[in-house]
A and B are shown apart, each in its own frame.
Chain A
């Protein structure tokens, strides 16, 4: 191989020698240190051989001395190939034209892609129109877009102030514009509201920032119970009291108990693999799977395992081509006993996992109690966790809705109030409602 490459690199000739003393010619050539190969006798008095280009001139004296004639039949190798290529001007012109065409075509933008992210943003047509005005359109010069990258970003930011993030990416002849809208923070709720209990618990601390507290430490509350009333009672100049609706604010800490029961079996059915299995190799390309090799045969119940190996990620870094190995193992189900310790550990893990999703982050665990017993084939586990947490939750005052609907009779309003109060399990005083000139709702205690 190495020899052939070297001969090809230097170039070689296929020569035919004619004469009577051909053996003498070969001896004479070899004596001069010339390397000959591929020596054949096609006919008596004729000899075909190969020789390197640089050695051929040295053979002339040998030809003459032995009375032979030499004729070059074929020239081969890199020097001759290059010479032939350089001689063919049309081919070079074609190659140059091709390279120039590719270069010119690649200097233009062909595709403008727009990706609109989340948030309040105008539609894609509007963005495309704006891009066209800025100069980002199919047919635009790629270099121009590259130079004006910063300007394009600035102009887009001005055109779309609602955008939080804008990116203009140049991928070959494709411009990909990505715009993500701003996500405004949730609007602060305003207007009168009460604070109710979110959970059942024993109140241990009440801190009122606004409103009238209706519970005190030591009270037991259930979900929906009114904790802080969204009303502020102020004394009137003329005498009596005036009740002004406010948005109740405050912290109501309570001891809350969480209970979780888990039943863990002390015997489970488990699949046990037999020796028999079927292995199927497949090739996945995008969503299609092409099985190409299968080994073994199974019947009955089987356990399926899949192993994948990525072959080609693809341009967008998704696993475009994958080699899949599916193993179907024949199994028989066997009843396996679980030790009580193992079952207890499993039940503990399960209960802790389920409780962790219920407990709020701000809750402080004060006490933890667990108990378990054998329930005939099952381990019955019970976990009780006591926490100290804020159970205050704002609730919209329903009286606000009554004001928005003045056509309703006071009786109707009252009945609606009562029904809602019942739903929330609130025990409120019945107030006589009056309306002042400025529209603020007031109540006078009788």
Chain B
């Protein structure tokens, strides 16, 4: 188990080194989510893995490697949703990116 974790961390480290060395985008190589915000009313999340929770106050978005983005606000609604991307609108009060995301 420890080996697996170590191996996983090692793989990720190599990927990061590779991305840094060649100047490649992190979201492609490291499977990181890409967030684009327009003020505090529009949010586009790319490279997501689906929704965990969707209410008018809270939207939880699953990301790769067990990560989660939590958006808290008022009158939240999904503008559109496709496999790789979703658009969110409303009045954002808080966006949490748990420690898993780098």
Contacts and interface: CB of A to CB of B under 8 A. Distances in A.
Interface of B is mostly: strand
B95 interface: no
B83 A41 contact: no
A26 B80 contact: no
B14 interface: no
B38 interface: no
Nearest to A44: B55
A27 B50 contact: yes
Contact of A26 (B51, B55, B56, B79): B51
Interface size on A, as a range, is: 10 to 19
Contacts of A22: 54
Nearest to B76: A41
B77 A41 contact: yes
Interface string A34-50: 01111111001001000
Nearest to B54: A23
Interface in B37-53: 50-53
A44 B51 CA distance: 16
Contact of B56 (A30, A31, A35, A41): A41
Interface residues of B, number: 14
Contacts of A31: 50, 83
Nearest to B79: A37
Given A33-B83, A35-B82, A41-B56, A27 B51 contact: yes
A22 B50 CA distance: 12
A393 to B, nearest CB: 95
B81 interface: yes
Nearest to A42: B56
For the complex of A and B, the 4 pairs showing the least CB-CB separation, nearest first, are A27-B50, A39-B78, A37-B80, A23-B51
Interface of B: 50-56, 77-83
12 contacts: A22-B54, A23-B53, A23-B54, A30-B82, A30-B83, A35-B82, A36-B80, A36-B81, A39-B79, A40-B77, A40-B78, A41-B77
Interface of A: 22-23, 26-27, 30-31, 33, 35-41, 44, 47
Given A23-B53, A26-B51, A40-B78, 13 more contacts: A23-B52, A26-B54, A26-B81, A27-B51, A30-B81, A33-B82, A35-B81, A36-B81, A37-B80, A38-B80, A39-B81, A40-B77, A44-B55
